[in-house]
Chain A
Amino acid sequence: DGGITQSPKYLFRKEGQNVTLSCEQNLNHDAMYWYRQDPGQGLRLIYYSQIVNDFQKGDIAEGYSVSREKKESFPLTVTSAQKNPTAFYLCASSIPDSYGYTFGSGTRLTVV
């Protein structure tokens, strides 16, 4: 079955450490996205990529970095520069300009 796989589901890290969240899709979608969700808030766009080897900052990119070396993969690194990294992170993909967005099941990151 086609879909998006995010791993791990739960992630604990010490303050000051970088951590990388995985996102893999087998839908052959060109566009991929990372969103952050905080309690009581909607999803906010961190980074997006419309094509391999290209990505753009979203609304809250500070303290995050991404890469898009393969169409299937769009990993997100939460760096030590991110002031409040504890959150739920969702990855999504789509065919550009379509209305078919597919989301992964998310990674809950807790920084202690």
Chain B
Amino acid sequence: AQKITQTQPGMFVQEKEAVTLDCTYDTSDPSYGLFWYKQPSSGEMIFLIYQGSYDQQNATEGRYSLNFQKARKSANLVISASQLGDSAMYFCAMRAPSNTGFQKLVFGTGTRLLVSP
């Protein structure tokens, strides 16, 4: 069964510093996708970045980059130059086939990031 583990319930970072949010995953399927979402207090899930299991390079989207280490089954999110608006819950998720062939998203428990001035 697929599983996502986020071991940091909360993280603190000062404005303009970089921060790494950890994510490890478990799947036996060779084809999968990894996602990071941001959830502000308003509740909506905002897509940040995606990494496919066959992608050769680490994904980057503006201030977000994904440190993909396939052998270690880790997909850590790096936020550079943190801003106050980055304070939110962050979820790592994996898309992989279920036993019915349906590609479902499995989420971790999230990390709450607080950015201080």
Contact = CB atoms under 8 A, between A and B. Distances in A.
B22 to A, nearest CB: 14
Contact of B43 (A58, A92, A106): A106
A38 B105 CA distance: 17
A103 interface: yes
Contacts of A26: none
Given A99-B35, A99-B50, A99-B95, A58 B44 contact: no
A100 B46 CA distance: 11
A70 B47 CA distance: 26
**Which bucket holds chain B's interface residue count?**
20 to 34
Contact of A56 (B42, B47, B100, B107): B100
B91 interface: yes
Nearest to B108: A42
Interface string A97-112: 1011111111010000
A42 B104 contact: no
Interface residues of A, number: 25
Nearest to B35: A99
A99 B104 CA distance: 11
Given A41-B109, A42-B4, A99-B35, A90 B103 contact: no
A34 interface: no
Contacts of A50: 102
Nearest to B100: A56
Interface of B: 4, 9, 33, 35, 37, 42-45, 47, 50, 52, 91, 93, 95, 100, 102-105, 107-110
Interface of A: 33, 40-45, 48, 50, 56, 58, 88, 90, 92, 96-97, 99-106, 108
